[in-house]
Structure 1
């Protein structure tokens, strides 16, 4: 669990660096700054995955029956939100932080079906990071919504999201965590 927590701290520090130390980040330059965030992010993901897989199961709460269905629906929405920031559809013009919103939806979805300590720390921690990021960005920068695109772009994005969700589900199954079997009773 300590590796996972170290990974969470590293992830948060790397991603909030620009917001909490903008002068230092600016002095680093654009490419070196992005490279540092990339390297720290990859190290953070590695530590979180290894730490989560090694963590002992310590139950905190029992997920409600039937939450697996809601989890999968929320996960499809989360994947869609991740892609919205790269689309030219209508949804992008309505949400200031589609990717961070996707992280929050992802975190909530996982907390609905995982009641152990490691899950609460990992998913709750990343969800809190996303909320903190939104608050900091909103406090520092104004937002002008982009011109709304076409619904066709959102429909294509949803189709792509279904395919990506299927790949994510297949990877979960391969790792031994079938998302279609948990808390369906």
Structure 2
């Protein structure tokens, strides 16, 4: 589980810089330039993400069951991941009312995804992976909302027709991932 923990520390650590050291981050961007900062951020994120995938694959079956998921937990996971996918799409497809209302839909989507997966997985690696993302998303969501309030950030602009696109793409991505990709990539078929 060491590789998984290392990957989470790297990936979530890089993504937590604004939470714990925003002035330092701004100074680095001013010193290095935005493109160099983004390149380094992307490289460290990719390495961390790769370590998470590798580490979870290695640690997934290790350890005793910490809790036994209830038979209905699978259905809760499936249901919670649907809005998580819609929120993730809303984060990238700007202009929807959902994005304007939530403001940071990716963080809320990650939070729902992690919570959903904790409901139906009870091994130590599951707790580390999904619990780590859940805790990070909750803290980052609190932090970014606080930052927005202090800065007086207005809600994002809403564009006609975007809500339908967000919903359509989110549901389609959820179906494709649940029916085919999750089984192929992770080895678990959520829909059967």
TM-score scaled by length of structure 1: 0.89
**CA contact under 8 A between 1:58 and 1:118: conserved in structure 2?**
no
How much does 1:141 deviate? Answer: 3.2
Equivalenced residue count is 180
The reply to whether residue 59 of structure 1 matches residue 65 of structure 2 is: yes
1:101 is matched with which residue?
Answer: 108
> Counterparts in 2 of 1:51-130, with a 5 A limit?
51-55=55-59, 56-85=62-91, 86-130=93-137
**CA distances 1:127-148 after superposition (whole Å, capped 9, x unpaired):** 1111111222233332322344
Segments of 4+ moved more than 3 angstroms:
147-150
Q: Among 33, 40, 62, which residue is 1:36 paired with?
A: 40
Counterparts of 1:69 and 1:125 in 2: how far apart (Å)? 22
Distance 1:144 1:60 in 2: 44
- State how far apart, in whole Å, the 2-side matches of 1:140 and 1:157 are: 26
Distance (Å, rounded) in 1 between the aligned partners of 2:40 and 2:70: 41
CA distance in 1, matches of 2:4, 2:131: 12
Structure 2: state its 5+ residue gaps.
none
Computed over aligned residues only, the root mean square deviation of the Cα atoms, in angstroms, reads: 1.7
Query: Alpha-carbon deviations, 1:110-163, whole Å to 9, x = none?
Result: 01111111101100101111111122223333232234444x422221111122
1:11 maps to what in 2?
11
State the Cα deviation string for residues 94-120 of structure 1 (Å, max 9, x = none): 112211000000001101111111101
Stretches of structure 1 lacking an aligned partner (at least 5 in a row): none
Q: Distance in 2 between matches of 1:2 and 1:113?
A: 23
1:57: how far off?
4.3
1:162 aligns with 2:166: no
